[in-house]
Amino acid sequence: AYSLWNDQIVEEGSITVSPEDRGYQFGDGIYEVVKVYNGQMFTAQEHIDRFYASAEKIRLVIPYTKDVLHKLLHDLIEANKLDNGHVYFQITRGTVSRNHVFPDASVPAVLTGNVKVGERSIENFQNGVKATFVEDIRWLRCDIKSLNLLGAVLAKQEASEKGCYEAILHRGDTVTECSSANVYGIKGGKLYTHPANNFILNGITRQIILKCATEIGLPVIEEAMTKGDLLKMDEVIVSSVSSEVTPVIDVDGHAIGTGAVGEWTRKLQEAFEAKLPISIKS
């Protein structure tokens, strides 16, 4: 397998990252995940734009242009002959003797990336998944796609141990998002989701779903739901690069709507799928 290491595509095993890399010691960096369908990246530009936006928010300078990065990701996919899966990439604030204060501007950032093979989770899309409520104990800048994922890791582990696909996070009574996805409720022919502010990551998939909703005549209301609101929704979905439009049919043992995948969800899935670089419909 080949990996991305700064501006080079190299054999995975030839990469050396120092134990004093700030990503390793502080989680001082950011990342992105881009889905690959039939060898083609989906919404690569949007992910690259968010990568640069996250970097700017933490005052990390990416020493490459967006076009160079785009080309590197493309080359990485080609080198690995990846058909279906995703490309992961991250950048850290570099390697320097441990100190919370930023290193000098002369210390180069460390960019790495790799690909992972994986097929779409058609079974989840068709049958729906279970979720559980978990208190959102993350920091207050969830809009940054930070390498610090401990809050998300703990939440997802809890969900996994309960046999659930996702943890639906809430701050007090207010539902924010999931450990690695956005969450939506549909009720009375309207789609509700948390506004894109510092409490959530504005998913690239979220942005596409909001467009799809408008296209299919499902009005979008960017307002936070309470836990009680969410349980009373007709339909609930979660979204991310890998989850696409995944229906949630059960939260902590409470059936959502009829407990089966709803009509609006199906329509959203169709509208979403129509935008993908794939020819075979699931």
Residues 126, 266: Cα–Cα separation, whole Å: 9
From 35, 66, 116, 145, active-site residue: 145
List b or e across 157-175, with b for residues whose CB sees 16 or more CB atoms inside 10 angstroms: ebbeeeebbbbbbbeeeeb
Angle, CA 24 vertex, CA 18 and CA 25 arms, to 5° = 105
Q: Are 31 and 141 spatial neighbours (Cβ–Cβ below 8 Å)?
A: no
Residues 245, 263: Cα–Cα separation, whole Å: 13
Least distance in angstroms from the C-beta of 96 to ligand PLP = 27
Sign of the four-CA dihedral 45, 51, 54, 58? negative
The correct pick among 177, 185, 251, 265 for binding ligand PLP (CB under 6 A) is: 177
Least distance in angstroms from the C-beta of 90 to ligand PLP = 13
The correct pick among 54, 132, 146, 180 for binding ligand PLP (CB under 6 A) is: 180
Of 63-71, 122-130, 233-241, 268-276, the segment contacting ligand PLP by CB under 6 A is: 233-241
244 binds ligand PLP (CB under 6 A): no
The correct pick among 4, 69, 109, 181 for binding ligand PLP (CB under 6 A) is: 181
State whether residue 195 is helix, strand or coil: coil
Nearer to ligand PLP, 94 or 183 (CB): 183
Q: Are 247 and 265 spatial neighbours (Cβ–Cβ below 8 Å)?
A: yes
- Contact map string, positions 189 to 228, toward ligand PLP, x by CB under 6 A: ------------x-xxxx----------------------
Nearer to ligand PLP, 62 or 147 (CB): 147
Q: Which residues bind ligand PLP (CB under 6 A)?
A: 152, 177, 180-182, 201, 203-206, 239-241
